[in-house]
Amino acid sequence: MKKFFALLGILAVLLSAGCVSNPAPKTEVETTNTTTEFDEEYVRLKGLYRPIYYSMGITYIKLVGKETYNEWENSRSEEERNNECIAVSFVKRFNIKREDIEQANKEKIAIWEEAGVDLMANAAYEVYDVDLIYTFDNEKINEFFLWENGPYPLD
């Protein structure tokens, strides 16, 4: 009975706040092939692209060292952050060899497998598509990293 009243209370709060009846506004995003509507709140919380677009794991950072990486990452302009995948910028800035990114991918996967994680569970377990990154085609890369184009659920 307590659960019923708790749920009833939560429902009353949601209705009074307008959360149930007023969905978040939508944002249209132009992509190379389609126009997609995204929930603005979702984009605000998670970003337009999957997490790997914006940040790199330690297996990649070790290629140049933490201090060097952090200095560079903090110096990136807002325009660069929003329009170029961090891996592309990283490879360009530090002239990283394709083989090094492939090896970092393998190390990252090995760590996750050893921990017993389901690599398809969510976007936190994603490695870089080396062939795609080394095209340096930002339009194609940005399209690939959109949430809607990933294999992960949007929740």
Torsion on CA atoms 79, 83, 88, 90, rounded to nearest 10: 20
Buried/exposed code over 133-154 (b: 16+ C-beta within 10 A; e: otherwise): bbeeeeeebbbbbbbeebeeee
Every domain of the chain and the residues it spans = 48-149
DSSP structural state of residue 37? E
Stretches where the chain sits below pLDDT 70 are 1-46, 120-123, 152-155
d(CA 126, CA 13): 37
d(CA 70, CA 66): 6
DSSP structural state of residue 92? H
- The DSSP secondary structure of 83-130, one letter per residue, reads HS-HHHHHHHHHT--HHHHHHHHHHHHHHHHHHT--TTSSTTS----H
Buried/exposed code over 66-95 (b: 16+ C-beta within 10 A; e: otherwise): eeebeeebeeeeeeeeeebbbbbbbbeeee
> What size, in residues, is the chain?
155
Dihedral angle sign, alpha carbons of residues 55, 61, 65, 66: positive
Look up residue 5 and give its two tokens.
């009243």
pLDDT at 125 (0 to 100) = 76
Amino acid present at 24: A
